[in-house]
Amino acid sequence: MNSILIQQVRIDDKFSDVLIEGNKISMIFDSIVVDADKIIDGKNKALIPGFANAHAHSAMTLFKGLGEDIPLMKWLHDYIWPYEAKLDEEMVYWGAKMACLEMIRTGTTVCNDMYWYPQVCKRAMEEMGLRSVQAYVWIDFFDKGRAANHKINLEKMYRESLGWSDLTQFSVGPHAIYSVSSDSLQWISAFAQEHEVMLHIHLAESQTEYEDSIKNWGVTPTKYLHNLGILGPNVVAAHSVWLSPEDIQILGDHGVCVVHNPNSNLKLASGYKFKYDELRDAGVRVCLGTDGCASSNNLDMLEAMKHAAFLQKAWRRDPAAMPLQELMTVASFNGYQAMNVHAGKIEVGMLADLILIDLQQSAFVPCHNFYANLIYAANGSAVDTVLCNGRILMEEKRVEGEAQIFEMTAKMAQKLITP
């Protein structure tokens, strides 16, 4: 079994050795004497769990900078969806590779992905060594013919997923209540429950979605899903910015996971009063995501964390809101829990999805409070070394194949915009 020994690394305020055997953490002790296959010197480094990006559209790295500064619906209809119609497998593959590179560089070790050609995104993620959940994306615009095609393709992809490696899970991804019919939503939900897979959906993202739902169906988006019988602990709802007090209770009662995407919500002006405290207190598992690069422009979870913290403090006018340790849990452990993966903490028996932070830089000197330095002062460039499933994906900021990814992604992005 392959073993890695990380020596004298900072974990919170203490220094320890950490032994990884196979894909798990097998020992954490002051001093471990063992003949390991690989030794990492932890001097001037801190060890933390890798980040769990709980809502992303990986290959949208290709859309970075396209259709900026316009409203959400116009952005979707005039830019994103027409460009997406031009995507082919090669473009998605390189877009996803670029996303993997950025996620590794900024310390993300698992990604809850939702994008076209999920089997291609899966291949890109696995080649780069990343863990992911790949959603079968379903948009039918209330068209029965499209829904019928989706059923066939979803079932086919699910059958294929039974042969996937441990790194990748399958999920169902009905896009949103305004792009998927109620019949389809119920069918997808029944499928997800029968096969015990995640249902990943955008929910209550914008004021327009909220108001249209009340106009069309007489209830809020959350109540609409509740009335369809869809909400449960396998549901991961991205955004959930527009919620009534009853909605929050419904999400809590059903053990739904909600993913906060502060950068995307801020940039698309979807809303900023994310009800973190209320959701947590109602029993919702709140996770953190970046959303796609078309709306957040990067996949840096540390930036998303800083914005999440500052947003809570600002709109609540409470500097004690969203404290550091809680935010670490939201950005790592909660996301892993939502994806049913036993990682997100540095404990014996946990999967070795871990990152080393380089402390030899201005953000960490002095180091009165490590997590304050990490989240408020540093950004993703502080990540030095990344391990996922016990494998080193980046060491001392070097990732294999980076030059080719830059070159091919630029080429694919050019192909996308060429008429």
Query: Within 228-331, where are the H helices?
Result: 245-253, 262-267, 276-282, 293-296, 301-316, 324-331
Q: How far is the CB of 291 from Zn ion (least distance, A)?
A: 4
Mark 8-17 as b/e (b = at least 16 C-beta within 10 Å). ebbbeeeebb
Instruction: Please say which residue, 42 or 289, places its beta carbon nearer to Zn ion.
Output: 289
Q: How far apart are CA 298 and CA 292, in angstroms?
A: 8
Q: How far apart are CA 266 and CA 408, in angstroms?
A: 30
Q: Are 107 and 50 in contact (CB under 8 A)?
A: yes
Instruction: Please say which residue, 100 or 237, places its beta carbon nearer to Zn ion.
Output: 237
Instruction: Please say which residue, 291 or 300, places its beta carbon nearer to Zn ion.
Output: 291
Instruction: Please say which residue, 84 or 291, places its beta carbon nearer to Zn ion.
Output: 291
Q: How far is the CB of 55 from Zn ion (least distance, A)?
A: 6
In three-state form (DSSP H/G/I as H, E/B as E, the rest C), the secondary structure along 73-100 is HHHHHHHHHHHHHCCCHHHHHHHHHHHH
Q: How far is the CB of 128 from Zn ion (least distance, A)?
A: 21
Q: How far is the CB of 197 from Zn ion (least distance, A)?
A: 19
Residue nearest to Zn ion (CB): 291
List residues binding Zn ion (CB under 5 A): 291
Instruction: Please say which residue, 105 or 260, places its beta carbon nearer to Zn ion.
Output: 260
Q: How far is the CB of 239 from Zn ion (least distance, A)?
A: 7
Instruction: Please say which residue, 291 or 303, places its beta carbon nearer to Zn ion.
Output: 291
Instruction: Please say which residue, 33 or 85, places its beta carbon nearer to Zn ion.
Output: 85
Between the alpha carbon of residue 238 and those of residues 189, 285, 335, the distances in Å are: 16, 12, 12
Q: How far apart are CA 7 and CA 17, in angstroms?
A: 4
Q: How far is the CB of 118 from Zn ion (least distance, A)?
A: 14
Q: How far apart are CA 67 and CA 77, in angstroms?
A: 11
Nearest CA to 185 out of 242, 224, 239, 233 is that of: 224
Q: How far apart are CA 130 and CA 306, in angstroms?
A: 24
Q: How far is the CB of 6 from Zn ion (least distance, A)?
A: 35
Can you read off the two tokens belonging to residue 179? 């792009």
Instruction: Please say which residue, 271 or 390, places its beta carbon nearer to Zn ion.
Output: 271
Q: How far apart are CA 95 and CA 92, in angstroms?
A: 5
Q: How far is the CB of 139 from Zn ion (least distance, A)?
A: 12
The alpha-carbon radius of gyration of the chain (Å, integer) is: 21
